[in-house]
Structure 1
Amino acid sequence: MLAREPGSGRDEAIRGLSVGVGETTRNGDRVARRTERALAVHRLLNSQSPNRPVPLSDKGRIALPDIQPPRADLVAALAMRRSGYAYEDRDLEFRALSAWLRFAVGVQRFVPAYGRPEHPLGMAPTAGGLPSLGVYVLVRRAEEVPSGLYRYEAVSHELVELSTVDPTGALELVYAQPEFATRPAVSLALTARLDVAFGQYPLRHYRTLHVDSGVAVQNLYLVGTALGLSCCAVAEFDDAGLAALLGTPDTEIPTMLFAAGHAEQR
């Protein structure tokens, strides 16, 4: 298992980039300009005005169990991979949730990079190995995880509790198809960190951030298929509404929702 101790997650990885990127005022101004230009395009595409979500603080942590990878043939998983809309009406098993996150969007290995002896690289790779991909878990029903909103910390393999409010009602307003809020056991929200990306790359990297999310989506499908989950990536949602629900800063934009639960047995 590659997990590290609590507190060694995304925030430390981002701080570790300071050696490679630099923390000068000039660089900070350049990142801010790039971010604002990308946000202007993002808002225009979504016909939305600037939003200021209320940030959510960490309320606690749930350690996910060490788990063996699912036994599956890659070609078989690819052949069986499809969007599923039929879910069993039961809790998502704790070990299945742990395995799904660990092997789809967890840490693959640690390497010397960005001035750090152990910089984490993900199972879902990102451009430059940057910690620019965010993963949030919105739980309707899952074993040992109360309903609520969580941020997945890949390095320590933990769920960071952000809210204990059942997200179903809010998701019904966020999903263009509200049935995705009430049928799956959980929804995953993927986000892109513009401030992290533009500290290293030019403005055109806005496009690459969405490619990074697409790589994570394929991982979620394949690992979910191997675990017997019914999965569906959903791109049609209210961006501002989801950002408000997640409590992300305006420099972190939602890129995809992903619904999952145990596949209905027929």
Structure 2
Amino acid sequence: MTTAPQTRQAPPAPAPALTQDGTSDEELAAALGTRPCDLPAVRSLLSGAAADPEDPPLRVRDLLHRRLRSGVCDDMIDPRALQSARPRPAEPPSAGLSAVPLPEPRPLPDITLAAAIEQRHSSTTFAARPMEFAVLAALLEQAAGIHGHRSGYNVRDFPVRRAPSAGGLAPIDLYVVANAVDGLEQGLYRYRPSAPDLVRVDSGNMRGKVTEAGIAADWMFHAPAVLFLAVDMPRVEWKYGVRSYRYVHVDLGVMTQNLYLVATALGLNTCAVAAFDDDAANDLLRLDGRDSFVSLMFACGLPGGR
């Protein structure tokens, strides 16, 4: 005796998640102009945001600061797990990219720290003559290079940088747009401290693209070299979780001060630039703008007027 094949019934669709007032996630996401899959992040940001009715209205920075406080950051690595953890790679992958070795860096002049701090200033004027490659090498190496290795994170030869950072994880990468550097072809490079060298990312005249990325900073067109300070979030998030977003910007400030003081000692004019088009800058460096993104630009060159 045969029977007709039975049709498998599709499992019932899961009931939509509801908020306390009966609103579904789909309705709430539509009202916020986002997607249901984004709601956990939104709820995390709003967690603990309840305020007294008499308090001033919440601002964006209030929400960020509350979410990034140590008391609510529960996603840092467990200390026991840290005992067997290994860090993320300290540099982005460079497979398939050519590299230019750095020349012997120009020795730093005999200048005291007090004098460098006193003389440091921002300037947007540069000489027309090119910057020496050895001077650029000195700026990179002395401000952001590796000065030794030691045991750490279950690695015997963990690199120690000249710019301190949270956990020593060095989340700031330096990219260089060479406009007029004697001995270095025009183009975009990434500084690789472990070599040390410059990994070629793109070739050609980048003056126009750099200027377009800046906001009301046409003077950058004349800078012999423009450094981009880019953050690599995964390099620190595995250890510090969401609070990493605070740490990387502290590290950014430390790196910037190093660049300013070393550049001053080398006799360079410099100016840090925080006003730029994020999308344009990230596109130029081929960063995703999410896990890796530009946080600062730093123009430098020999003193001069235009």
Tell me by how many angstroms 1:85 deviates. Answer: 1.6
Contact 1:171 1:178 survives alignment (8 Å): no
Which residue pairs with 1:112 in the alignment? 151
Query: Which of 139, 155, 162 in structure 1 is aligned with 2:194?
Result: 155
Shift of 1:265: 7.4
1:82 aligns with 2:121: yes
| 2:202 is aligned with 1:197 | no
1:66 aligns with 2:104: yes
How big is the shift at 1:71? 2.3
Question: Secondary structure of 2:182's partner?
Answer: coil
Instruction: Tell me the equivalent position of 1:52.
Output: none
Residues 1:56 and 1:157: Cα distance change in structure 2 (over 3 Å) = closer
Q: What's the offset of the Cα at 1:178?
A: 3.4
Offset of residue 56 of structure 1: 9.2
Quick one: percent identity of the two aligned structures? 32
Q: Secondary structure at the match of 1:253?
A: strand
> What CA distance in whole angstroms lies between the structure 2 residues aligned with 1:59 and 1:145?
16
Unaligned runs of 5+ in 2: 1-36, 46-59, 62-92
Which residue of the other structure, out of 248, 251, 260, is the alignment partner of 2:291? 251
1:1-266 aligned within 5 A: 58-67=96-105, 68-249=107-288, 250-264=290-304
RMSD (Å), alpha carbons: 2.6
Provide Cα deviations, 1:106-128, integer angstroms capped at 9, x if missing partner. Answer: 11221111221111121111100
Q: Does the aligned pair in 2 maintain the 1:141–1:186 contact within 8 Å? A: yes
Q: Return the offset for 1:154.
A: 0.9
| Counterpart Cα distance in 1 of 2:266 and 2:172 | 23
Partner SS state of residue 201, structure 1: helix
Distance of 2:222 and 2:234 partners within structure 1: 34
- State the shift of 1:59 in Å: 3.3
Letter aligned with residue 181 of structure 1: M
Q: Specify whether residues 69 and 157 from structure 1 end up closer, same or farther in structure 2 by C-alpha distance, changes over 3 A only.
A: farther
Q: Deviations over 1:116-145 (max 9, x none)?
A: 111112111110011311110011110111
Tell me by how many angstroms 1:70 deviates.
Answer: 3.3
How far has the Cα of 1:180 moved from its partner? 3.5
Aligned partners of 1:94 and 1:143 also within 8 Å: yes
Code of the aligned partner of 2:97: K
| Alignment partners' CA distance in 2, 1:180 and 1:216 | 23
Shift of the 183–57 alpha-carbon distance from structure 1 to 2, 3 Å rule, reads farther
Contact 2:125 2:219 in 1 (8 A): no
Match for 1:142: what amino acid?
Answer: V
Distance in 1 separating the partners of 2:232 and 2:41: 14
SS of 2:301's equivalent in the other structure is strand
1:37, CA displacement in angstroms?
5.5
Gaps in structure 1 of 5+ consecutive residues: 1-32, 46-54
Task: Give the letter for the 2:266 counterpart.
Answer: L
Q: Which residue in the other structure is 1:8 paired with?
A: none
What is the aligned length? Answer: 220
In structure 2, what is the Cα distance between the partners aligned to 1:56 and 1:173? 27
SS at match of 2:177: strand
CA distance in structure 1 between the partners assigned to 2:192 and 2:109 by the alignment: 21
CA deviation vs aligned residue, 1:127-181 (integer Å, no higher than 9, x gap): 0011311110011110111111000001111000010021111112100023243
Higher relative CO (CA 8 A, sep ≥ 6), structure 1 or 2? 1
Residue deviations 1:210-242 (CA, integer Å, cap 9, x gap): 110110100100000000000000000011110
Give CA-to-partner distance per residue, 1:65-98, whole Å, 9 cap, x none. Answer: 2333332111011000010122101111011011
| CA contact 2:103–2:137 (8 Å) conserved in 1 | yes
Match for 1:237: what amino acid?
Answer: F
